[in-house]
């Protein structure tokens, strides 16, 4: 099922602030009026609201639990119209039924996992588009962590909601797919414009950096990200959103086709998917 429209609004959320963005900003000739609100759920999950001020529509990206989503709605004064689900895991869907019952919102979910997600109204797959008021996202299938995982990319808004496929300086554990599938999914996300802001499902940045430094200790961008993350955590700030450009430079899981990374894990000259599999296997044991 596809919802077609034309997106016009990029976000003004800045990394590290757990609050909604309301200011009108401009990057190049693109006005930034979409609003986002980042908040914590469960023990280490992130929740995000995406709001179209022109229509009043608001989407929750996943719903780990209902309570923090309700608090975020009260804080912002926004009305929940949509829940966009990235994958079936309970720590991303636990609040869906309660929120739908209260707000009568539309629940959109990946076609290949819809049977494992409660209260679904619409199913989407690769190439479909989803409208939230006047904002539009296209769907990327990003299997690996789960077999039917998807990401929602608001292209003109420069927003990517990637669930548990890509993390800040990390990636999801390969549970239902294969390393080859996960590497292909990561390449899709890596191909997005560098200024695309990336919202992931968990606050894992500091632990991810500790591991990444075991593979690329001399990576200057990674070293700088480590210092930045320390400052953010010390200040009680979130370490996301990050950007595609930042991740390309510092996230070892996106760098399996960099010769130095392959050499660091003893796989110089080997296929990048094999290098990725080795990096992911090392992280599993770290």
In a domain, residue 1? The reply is no
92 is catalytic: yes
87 is catalytic: yes
Q: Considering the candidates 91, 155, 195, 221, report the single residue annotated as catalytic.
A: 91
Beta bridge partners of 135: 132
Q: Considering the candidates 51, 103, 138, 145, report the single residue annotated as catalytic.
A: 145
In a domain, residue 52? The reply is yes
In a domain, residue 13? The reply is no
Beta bridge partners of 92: none
In a domain, residue 215? The reply is yes
What pLDDT, on the 0 to 100 scale, is given for residue 33? 74
In a domain, residue 128? The reply is yes
91 is catalytic: yes
What pLDDT, on the 0 to 100 scale, is given for residue 3? 30
Q: Considering the candidates 37, 87, 88, 149, report the single residue annotated as catalytic.
A: 87
What pLDDT, on the 0 to 100 scale, is given for residue 32? 55
Q: What CATH number corresponds to the domain at position 176?
A: 3.60.15.10
Query: CA-CA distances (angstroms) from residue 89 to 93, 169, 181?
Result: 6, 21, 18
Q: Considering the candidates 51, 103, 149, 202, report the single residue annotated as catalytic.
A: 202
**82-84 and 58-61 beta bridge pairing:** parallel
In a domain, residue 177? The reply is yes
**Local structure of residue 114 (DSSP, 8 states):** G
**135-141 and 25-27 beta bridge pairing:** unpaired
Q: Considering the candidates 37, 51, 88, 89, report the single residue annotated as catalytic.
A: 89
**Local structure of residue 205 (DSSP, 8 states):** H
51 is catalytic: no
Q: Considering the candidates 37, 92, 138, 149, report the single residue annotated as catalytic.
A: 92
* pLDDT means over runs of 10, the chain (286 residues): 27 37 40 85 97 97 98 98 98 98 98 98 97 97 98 95 98 98 98 98 98 98 98 97 98 98 98 98 97
Distance CA 139, CA 128 (A): 5
In a domain, residue 98? The reply is yes
Domain count, the chain: 1
What pLDDT, on the 0 to 100 scale, is given for residue 31? 58
Q: What residue numbers bound the domain in which 265 lies? A: 25-285
202 is catalytic: yes
What pLDDT, on the 0 to 100 scale, is given for residue 21? 44
What pLDDT, on the 0 to 100 scale, is given for residue 34? 81
In a domain, residue 5? The reply is no
Q: Considering the candidates 12, 82, 157, 164, report the single residue annotated as catalytic.
A: 164
Query: CA-CA distances (angstroms) from residue 27 to 24, 35, 76, 161?
Result: 10, 15, 24, 20
């Amino acid at each position: 099922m596809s919802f077609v429209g034309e997106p016009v609004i990029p976000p003004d959320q800045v990394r590290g602030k757990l609050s909604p963005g309301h200011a009108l900003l401009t990057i190049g000739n693109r006005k930034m009026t979409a609003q986002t609100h980042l908040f914590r759920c469960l023990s280490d999950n992130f929740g995000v609201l995406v709001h179209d001020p022109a229509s009043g529509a608001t989407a929750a990206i996943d719903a780990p639990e209902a309570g923090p989503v309700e608090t975020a709605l009260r804080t912002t004064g926004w009305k929940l119209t949509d829940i966009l689900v990235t994958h079936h895991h309970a720590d991303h869907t636990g609040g869906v039924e309660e929120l739908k019952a209260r707000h009568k919102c539309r629940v959109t979910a990946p076609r290949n996992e819809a049977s494992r997600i409660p209260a679904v109204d619409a199913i989407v797959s690769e190439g479909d588009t989803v409208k939230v008021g006047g904002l539009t996202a296209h769907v990327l299938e990003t299997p690996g962590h789960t077999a039917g995982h998807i990401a929602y990319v608001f292209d003109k808004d420069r927003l990517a909601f990637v669930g548990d496929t890509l993390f800040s300086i990390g990636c999801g554990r390969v549970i239902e797919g294969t390393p080859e599938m996960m590497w292909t999914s990561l390449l899709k996300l890596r191909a997005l414009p560098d200024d695309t802001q990336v919202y992931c499902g968990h606050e894992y940045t500091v632990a991810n950096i500790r591991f990444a430094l075991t593979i690329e200790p001399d990576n200057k961008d990674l070293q700088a990200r480590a210092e930045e993350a320390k400052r953010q955590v010390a200040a009680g700030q979130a370490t996301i959103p990050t950007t595609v450009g930042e991740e390309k430079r510092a996230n070892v899981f996106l760098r399996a086709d960099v010769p130095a990374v392959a050499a660091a894990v003893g796989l110089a000259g080997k296929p990048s998917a094999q290098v990725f599999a080795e990096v992911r296997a090392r992280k599993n044991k770290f």
